[in-house]
Amino acid sequence: MASYNKPNGSIKNTGAIIVTIVFVILGLIFLLIGYNVRVLSWMKTFGIVILVLLSPVVAFIIYKIIIKKVKDMW
């Protein structure tokens, strides 16, 4: 019997990367809006919280990309 199992790792990684990038952009937007406007100062705090919470995910994705590039060089 033939096996039709395909590795879905790249599709899952792509989705995680897209979601992470969207939240990082959202955090940066909140940070910039809250930094310049006194009335919406809570946005600055919210932007910082989003960026801090996503920093391990972003670091892991960058680590995976670098390791993949190093393995491709060998």
Which amino acid belongs to residue 10? Answer: S
Q: Which of 46 and 1 is assigned the larger pLDDT? A: 46
Q: What is the pLDDT of residues 20-47, one digit of tens each?
A: 888 888 888 888 887 777 767 777 788 8
Helix (H, G, I), strand (E, B) or coil at 25: helix
- Give me the pLDDT at residue 34, please: 77
DSSP label of 3: -
pTM: 0.57
pLDDT classification of 6: cutoffs 50, 70, 90: low
CB 1 within 8 A of CB 52: no
Q: What is the pLDDT of residues 42-51, one digit of tens each?
A: 777 888 888 8
